[in-house]
Amino acid sequence: MSVRVVGPLEERLRANRDAGRKLLVPYVTAGLDEGWLDIVRAVAAAGADAVEIGIPFSDPVMDGPVIQEASVRALARGTTPASVLAELARADVEVPLAVMTYVNLFAHAGYHRMAQSLAAAGVSGAILPDLPIDEAAEWMSEAEAAGVDAVQLVAPTTPEGRLLRICEASHGFVYAVGLLGVTGERADVANSALVIARRCRSVTETPVLVGVGVTTPKQAVTISEESDGVVVGSALIRRLLNGEGPEGAGAFIGSLREALDDRWPGTQE
Amino acid sequence: MTAATSMMGEPNEAGRFGEFGGRYVPESLVPACLELERAFHEAWDDPLFRSELNELLHSYAGRPTPVTECRQLSSELGIRLMLKREDLAHTGSHKINNVLGQALLAKRMGKHRFIAETGAGQHGVASATAAALLGLECVVYMGEVDVKRQALNVFRMQLLGATVIPVTSGARTLKDAINDALRDWVASVESTYYCIGSVVGPHPYPFMVRQFQRVVGEEAREQCRVILNGEDPDLVVACVGGGSNAAGTFAGFADTKARLVGVEPEGGAANGHGVAGIVHGMRSNFLQDESGQIEEATSISAGLDYPGVGPEHAYLAAIGRATYESVSDAEVLDAFQRLARTEGILPALEPAHALAWIIRATEEGKIAQGERILMTLSGRGDKDVAEIMELLS
Ligand SMILES: Cc1ncc(COP(=O)(O)O)c(C=O)c1O
């Protein structure tokens, strides 16, 4: 393996994890409403270790009804990749930001140009759920050159050798998809979430976060027994769609933070 | 083998035709696509599978379908027009060829839940049919708009024992039905076979579906040779939604001198007006806005209402082996009526696109007098009659 360059996203996540803290990464759909950046700031202030910024796409095949609805609303407001990055460039958020979207928006702009634009906007990571590792070489090298961590995903169906390859290639963190299915709230923790986290952690030092289906503070704790933390999307977005706003978002993420910190006090800041 | 193998042969190892194709799916689905690729190759190379499929195509689907010479329309237009009659296949369109292949494959792979997307409902009906025949559970995703305009096909699928799920996201047409079918498959991949209805999606679908459809072109070439005293047609024309009837047709003629023309609807001309992008698992041409959001196609025909096109068509266009033209809804309606009156055939609105272009190109001199043309009549028009009644009143 060549020397692995660790970007600012991974650097921060590793540092927080190594301090004994579980990682909490909320997902916010960019452009959801006029005040969406206040939501980003609110979840950062409530204890997020990084924030995933969803750039809305017309055909989000990995997303369930809640994030689909948020994407539709954001697109209807005229949100574009360029408008999101322009707003992020002016936003002052004290935690690292990773964008999450679909590969066509990057391919359309051109991987080189998109990687440069992300870096210029202060974005330090990117997650593309429809760009599996076999197709990702060109994007990963452009991202690395721009100092953007290209996060890779593993799924419950990923076989062993491939899982190792993905974990080695992933920058920022390893996104472990906790169940077979699209984003959305779930009543229970799938056993697959625990298994996939364990499998990834046994082969990599890179932080392993479980996403998809993480709904309650209790579930976040259960999953974090095996992972380095969680990504929370639909459970937050549903509250935002219901009009809860930055305060509601902060309160919800705060409740997740508290549950994780109660279980893993670590070295408190 | 002939040069057809190299012209419309296998995609490369990464599932690409030139720069188009690939396997851009969520990680959860990658192992399933790899498994499907292996299973398809094994089955396709297995004489038992092939004879089982051929037997079904023959005794169940009614193949070979005939080629009909259009005497009156030909003399009106000053050309020699031959129609490959997929409207006469069981369930009324070419879709059955692909579905019988994939349903046999699903059984062979031990998958008992069979899901499909559908636009016009023809692929849904074919899927429901094959599932009933082979004892598979069938679920069909269909955009809500299409559920309304193709109500008869919805009822047909239900009669055949399938569950039809109306899709309410996006424009509520074919693109959105594919999205929801993919979402279902992401969650159900271990037990479920996804039967894609056209030469679209991640590898191996574009290749596999074309192989299952090449019977159209291979039969047509032999039939044309009988009609034309051993010669091939000058021009081969088919309509293009995702492009399966066109790909199957072209596969039979790619190594001849025939000019190949695919006809898209004006409001869904992905090869004509689209740009390269990555959606639905493939790199191909798509209608997109300036940031890369996928635009909604609009067409009189639900089966062509798709903003993308199969990757092999994007490739054939790029290398110039095939050209892609488009026609308006009004031209399609005229062509539909003209074929009905001159030849006693009600075509589906989809292949009426192919005919509409032939009529216009003849008038404009882009088709020379006396040219010998094979057009694939991909389906029958019964499903469209109610909609046409409304449009004409
Ligand atoms: C009769 C008929 N022709 C053509 C099509 C378009 O599909 P393709 O481009 O894959 O042949 C459809 C799709 O529903 C159809 O029903």
What token pair was written down for B324?
């892609």
What percent of chain B has a predicted confidence (pLDDT) above 90?
92
pLDDT at residue B2 is higher than 60: no
B8, part of any domain: no
Round to whole Å and give the CA distance between B20 and A107.
Answer: 13
B276, part of any domain: yes
Q: Tell me whether residues A180 and B28 touch, CB distance under 8 A.
A: yes
B373, part of any domain: yes
pLDDT of residue A6: 82
Count structural domains, chain B: 2
Closest CA to A131 of A159, A163, A107: A107
What token pair was written down for A145?
């050159």
Closest CA to B388 of B326, B330, B306, B325: B330
Q: Alpha helix locations (H) across B163-204?
A: 174-188
Cβ-Cβ contacts under 8 Å between A and B: the total is 114
Contact assessment for residue A6 and residue A18, using Cβ atoms and an 8 Å cutoff: no
Report whether residue B308 contacts ligand 1, using a CB cutoff of 6 Å: no
- 3-state class of B165 per DSSP? strand
Q: Which domains does chain A have, with CATH numbers?
A: 8-153+227-263 (3.20.20.70)
Per-residue exposure over B211-250, b if at least 16 CB sit within 10 Å of its own CB, e if not: bbbbbbbbbbbebbeebeeeebbbbbbbbbbbbbbbbbbb
Alpha carbon of B169 to ligand 1 centroid (Å): 22
Q: Tell me whether residues B186 and A68 touch, CB distance under 8 A.
A: no
For every residue of chain A, DSSP letters joined together read: -PPPPP-HHHHHHHHHHHTTPPEEEEEEETTSSTTHHHHHHHHHHTT-SSEEEEPP-S--TT--HHHHHHHHHHHHTT--HHHHHHHHHH---SS-EEEE--HHHHHHH-HHHHHHHHHHTT--EEE-TT--GGG-HHHHHHHHHHT-EEEEEE-TT--HHHHHHHHHH--S-EEEE-SSS-S---SS--HHHHHHHHHHHTT-SS-EEEESS--SHHHHHHHHTTSSEEEE-HHHHHHHHTT-HHHHHHHHHHHHHHHHHHH---S--
Q: Give the Cα-Cα-Cα angle B242, B247, B253 (nearest 5 degrees).
A: 160
Residues of B in contact with A177 (CB under 8 A): 26-28
Query: The CATH number of the domain where B35 resides is what?
Result: 3.40.50.1100
Closest CA to B34 of A171, A176, A161: A161
pLDDT of residue B3: 36
Residues B266, B244 within the same domain? yes
DSSP B48: H
pLDDT of residue B6: 62
Rg of chain A in Å (alpha carbons):
17
Annotated active-site residue in A10, A52, A226, A228: A52
Tell me the helix, strand and coil percentages in chain B, rounded to 5.
Answer: 50, 20, 30
B184, part of any domain: yes
Residue nearest to atom 13 of ligand 1 (CA): B303
Residues B326, B265 within the same domain? yes
B7, part of any domain: no
Contact assessment for residue B260 and residue B254, using Cβ atoms and an 8 Å cutoff: yes
Residues B23, B121 within the same domain? yes
ipTM: 0.96
Q: What is the pLDDT of residues B126-143, one digit of tens each?
A: 999 999 999 999 999 999
B52, part of any domain: yes
Residue B302 — pLDDT band, cuts 50, 70, 90? Answer: confident
Closest CA to A180 of A169, A164, A195: A195
Q: What is the pLDDT of residues B239-262, one digit of tens each?
A: 999 999 999 999 999 999 999 999
Mean pLDDT of the region B199-223: 98
Backbone phi, psi, residue A214, to 5°: -75, 115
Mean pLDDT of the region B265-274: 95
pLDDT of residue B372: 98
A120: Cβ contacts below 8 Å, ≥ 6 apart:
A85, A89
Residues B314, B184 within the same domain? no
Residues of A in contact with B183 (CB under 8 A): 61-62, 64, 182
Residues B75, B151 within the same domain? no
Q: Alpha helix locations (H) across B151-256?
A: 151-159, 174-188, 205-227, 244-253
B288, with CB counted inside 10 A (0-12, 13-18, 19+), is buried
- Which residues of chain A register pLDDT less than 70? 1-3, 267-269
Residues of A in contact with B31 (CB under 8 A): 157-159, 162
- The last residue of one of the domains, among B173, B205, B237, is B205
Residues of A in contact with B283 (CB under 8 A): 107
Closest CA to B306 of B345, B257, B264, B334: B264
For B257, other C-beta atoms within 10 Å of its C-beta total 9
Residues B118, B36 within the same domain? yes
Q: What is the pLDDT of residues B169-193, one digit of tens each?
A: 888 889 999 999 999 999 999 999 9
**B214 compared with A92, residue with greater pLDDT:** B214
- 3-state class of B156 per DSSP? helix
Residues B144, B87 within the same domain? no
What token pair was written down for B382?
């019964």
Annotated active-site residue in A11, A33, A34, A63: A63
Residues B31, B42 within the same domain? yes
pLDDT of residue B4: 36
- The last residue of one of the domains, among B150, B172, B205, is B205
Round to whole Å and give the CA distance between B4 and B119.
Answer: 30
Residue B149 — pLDDT band, cuts 50, 70, 90? Answer: confident
E strand or H helix at B72, and its extent?
helix B71-77
Residue written as token pair 């193998």: B5
Contact assessment for residue B173 and residue B296, using Cβ atoms and an 8 Å cutoff: yes
B6, part of any domain: no
Q: Tell me whether residues B292 and A75 touch, CB distance under 8 A.
A: no
Q: Is A202 left (phi over 0), alpha (psi -120 to 50) or beta?
A: alpha
Residues B239, B315 within the same domain? yes
Residues B106, B161 within the same domain? yes
What token pair was written down for B386?
């109610």
B219, part of any domain: yes
Residues B103, B232 within the same domain? no
Round to whole Å and give the CA distance between B271 and B376.
Answer: 19
Mean pLDDT of the region B338-350: 98
pLDDT of residue A140: 98
Mean pLDDT of the region B212-234: 98
Atom of ligand 1 nearest to the CA of B351: 3
Residues B149, B51 within the same domain? yes
- The last residue of one of the domains, among B205, B234, B252, is B205
Query: Which residues of chain A are at the B interface, by a Cβ-Cβ cutoff of 8 Å?
Result: 57-62, 64, 68, 72, 75, 80-82, 103-105, 107-109, 129-135, 153-159, 162, 166, 177, 180-182
Report whether residue B93 contacts ligand 1, using a CB cutoff of 6 Å: yes
Domain that holds residue B353: 64-93+214-392
pLDDT of residue A267: 64
Residue written as token pair 């935002």: A240
Contact assessment for residue B311 and residue B246, using Cβ atoms and an 8 Å cutoff: no
Q: How many residues does chain B have?
A: 393
